[in-house]
Amino acid sequence: MISFIYRLANWTAIVGGIVLVALTLMVVASVAGRAMIGLGLGPVPGDFELVEVGVGIAIFYFLPWCYLRGGHATVDLLYMHMPAWFKKGVDLFSDVAMLLVWLVLTWKLWEGMLEKKEYLETTFILQMPIWWAYAFCLVGAVIGCICYVAKTLTRLGLASEPKGWTVEANVSH
């Protein structure tokens, strides 16, 4: 189960990456089209809002993976001089806090989505309902909550991380 959740985070991040690469191609097409407006081409309609919504979705999909890989920026100045029980306590605190925060954020994102749906708000150019974007983000947020539960369980020793799992503290590249 745990290894399935870790793989799920991996797939989710890859989907986010596909969205990002697709946006890259869309922007290139849009800039090219804008440059060749004289030839009857034009920018991709709604390119700005597509970038906004797409990057927003990608980030929601990146976050669970980032957390499982220990990718969040941390400072271990005091941590490294502390006894083992203290380190364990802090790590557990971080995991539980992350889980609680994301449960709240996900719950509120859900409410936000319902509101956007009720008000029928749309984007400017494509007039695409905003709640669709919220719904895509919500998928990432829910997967995030599942991952944070999994991480907390492994921290409590109730489950173990997949074989060969490495965490990159403080490294981002």
Partner 1 sequence: MSNIQLALWSFPFLLLLIFVRVPIGLSMLLCGLGGSWVIYGNADPILNQLKQVTFTTFSNYNLSVIPLFLLMGQFAALGGLSRALFKAAEAWIGHRKGGVAMAAVGACAGFGAICGSSLATAATMGQVALPELKRAGYAGGISTACLAAGGTLGILIPPSVVLVIYAILTEQNIAKLFLAAFVPGILAAIGYMITIAIYARLKPQEMGTMAPMPMKDRIAATVATWPVIAIFLVVVGGIYTGIFTPTEGAAIGAFCTGIAAWASGGLNRKTLLDSVLGTAVATGMIFMIVLGAGLYNTFLALSQLPQEAAGAVAGWGLSPILVLIAILVLYVILGCFMDSLSMILLTIPVFFPIIMALDFGLPPEELAIWFGILVLIVVEVGLITPPVGMNLFVINSMAKDTPITHTYRAILPFVTSDFVRTAILVAFPSITLFVLRL
Partner 2 sequence: QTVTLRLHQFLPPQAVIPAKAIIPWARKIEAESGGRIKIQDFHAMQMGGSPPQLFDQARDGVADITWTVLGYTPGRFNKSEVFELPFMCTGGPEKCSRAFHEYVEKNAADEFKSVKLLAAHTHGPGLFHTKQPVTGLESLRGMKIRGGSRIINNMLVKLGATPVGMPVPAVTEALSKGVIDGTTVPWEVAPSIKITELVKNHTSFAGKDGLFTQTFAFVMNRAAYDKLPADLKKVIDNNSGIELAASFGRAMDEGDKAGLALAQKARNNLVALDVAETQRWRRTASVVESDWVTEMKGKGIDGAKLASEARALVAKHNK
Binding partner of 127, given partner 1, partner 2, none, CB within 5-8 angstroms per partner class: partner 2
Pairwise CA distance, residues 51 & 133, whole Å: 12
Q: CB 24 → partner 1: shortest distance, Å?
A: 5
- x-marked contacts with partner 1 along 85-104 as a string, rule CB under 8 A: -xx--xx-xx--xx--x--x
Binding partner of 96, given partner 1, partner 2, none, CB within 5-8 angstroms per partner class: none
- x-marked contacts with partner 1 along 11-50 as a string, rule CB under 8 A: --xx-xxx-xx-xxx-xx-xx---x------------x--
Secondary structure (3-state) at 165 = coil
Binding site for partner 2 (CB under 8 A): 34, 37-38, 42-43, 46-49, 115, 119-125, 127, 129
